[in-house]
Amino acid sequence: MVDRIRHDSPVLIVGLGRFGAATAGQLDRLDRDVLAVDTDPVLVQKWADRVTHTVQADARSIDALIQIGAKDFDIAVVAVGSSVEASVLVAANLVDLGIPQIWAKAISQSHGKILERIGVNHVIYPEREAGERVAHLVSGRMLDFIQFDDDFVLVKMYPPKPIRGLSLDESGVRTKYRVTVVGVKSPGKDFTYATNETVVSNHDLIIVSGTESDIERFASLNG
């Protein structure tokens, strides 16, 4: 059923704290219809003019969710704050209502496991993921860092010295360092896909993919 959900389906967001508000705001900028729900009337009023719909309701009550039409949504985000009990209750209600795709914020590994066991499709650890990303960026070797499943990462960085002034084929990026240069951005130009013939200069930015450990080793070539 999840595969048949339209890419522009409206999204129900429960919780208008920092995470929920950021998610709602970005979805609105992407022209997605959003129904944002919170128990705090101040937050509901604050976001009333920023997203499609806001409503004050207690999503811990399944009756309240039914009244606001939660059953009509294919996608829901549980962005409830630090209360594990409230988060689990809201998520369980959404599962019981049969919402096909549920995303939920977790504040700990045990919280996440509970959410998974009651039927949440996607568990998010925003604080942990942000911390991991920052840890890779503080060295200054990387300008951006995105981690996917199975230890695969995508990084924006300046090219290490050993590959500058050479084509990617000549520098042996794949064979020596086991990473792939996906794209290159020269000053004043857009990113372009890299080929074996692409020559990387001192002032270029590159997008590199590979495992976390291989990327770290490759980035460390800059000293």
Query: Per-domain residue ranges for the chain?
Result: 2-124, 130-222
Alpha-helical regions (H) of 33-140: 41-46, 62-67, 84-96, 109-117, 126-137
What distance in Å separates the CA atoms of residue 59 and residue 214, rounded to the nearest whole number? 45
What rounded mean pLDDT belongs to the chain? 88
Q: Note the pLDDT of residue 139.
A: 63
Q: Does the domain at residues 2-124 carry the CATH identifier 3.40.50.720?
A: yes
Cβ contacts of 183-186, under 8 Å, gap ≥ 24: 183/207
Tell me how far apart the alpha carbons of residues 174 and 106 are, in angstroms, rounded to a whole number. 37
Assess whether pLDDT exceeds 60 at residue 46: yes
Q: Considering only the top CATH level, what class is 130-222? A: alpha beta
- Give tens-digit pLDDT for 131-180: 777 776 676 678 888 877 667 889 898 899 999 999 999 999 999 999 99
pLDDT at 115 over 90: yes
How do residues 65-86 score in pLDDT, each as one tens digit? 999 999 999 999 999 977 899 9
pTM of structure? 0.69
| Confidence at residue 145, expressed as pLDDT on a 0 to 100 scale | 83
Comparing 4 with 21, which gets the higher pLDDT? 21
Q: What percent of the chain has pLDDT over 90?
A: 61
The tens digit of pLDDT for each residue in 117-137 reads 999 999 988 877 777 777 766
